Amino acid sequence: KKIIIINGPNLNLLGSREPDVYGSLTLVEFLDAIKSKYPKLEIDHFQSNIEGELISKIQEMGFSYDGIILNAAAYTHTSVGIGDAVRAIKTPVVEVHISNTFAREDFRHQSFIAPHTKGVIVGFGLQSYELAIQSFLNDEI
């Protein structure tokens, strides 16, 4: 199965950005670990700080990949455009968040993406991504 993890703004700073909230592993360390743990899956990754680039990547992968794991970061709470892109494609999308957004500021409680996804995994640290991967493994289709 082909899966892509798409990460939004500031997630390139994982490991150094607010480690108490987001952990101390860097994105590269985390991706290496997850790829070696699931060798049968093809796990790609894309990160951008730019909203339009995220939309273009969702469109590009959204008709051929088996799953998209999307952490749109702050755009989750602002972007009608990313929500529309998720709605427009065929590939199922699982939304993930590292932190428990519901335990944080009110503006993080709303997602413009969640209504168009297969499901949402929130608050399990980097393990949120792994739980999303497992949701595709268990998918019998």
SS3 of residue 91 by DSSP: coil
Please, which residues have CB within 8 angstroms of residue 90's CB and are 6 or more apart in sequence? 62, 63
Using rule CB under 6 A, residue 101 touches ligand DQA: yes
Contact code string over 61-90 relative to ligand DQA, x by CB under 6 A: ----------x-xx-x--------------
Which ranges of the chain does DSSP label H, i.e. alpha helix?
19-22, 27-37, 51-61, 80-88, 127-137
Of 35, 45, 108, 118, which lies in the binding site for ligand DQA, with binding defined by CB under 6 A? 108
Using rule CB under 6 A, residue 10 touches ligand DQA: yes
Concerning whether 22 is annotated as a catalytic residue, the answer is: yes
Sheet strand arrangement including 119-122 = 42-47, 2-7, 67-71, 93-97, 119-122
Using rule CB under 6 A, residue 98 touches ligand DQA: yes
Concerning whether 129 is annotated as a catalytic residue, the answer is: no
Helices (H) and strands (E) in the chain, counts: 5, 5
Amino acid 38 reads: Y
Find the shortest distance in angstroms from Cβ 112 to ligand DQA. 12
Using rule CB under 6 A, residue 111 touches ligand DQA: no
Residue 91: CB atoms within 10 Å: 18
Toward ligand DQA, which CB reaches closer, 57 or 97? 97
Which residues are known binding-site members?
71, 77, 84, 98-99, 108
Which residues are known binding-site members for substrate?
71, 77, 84, 98-99, 108
Which residues carry out catalysis?
Answer: 22, 97
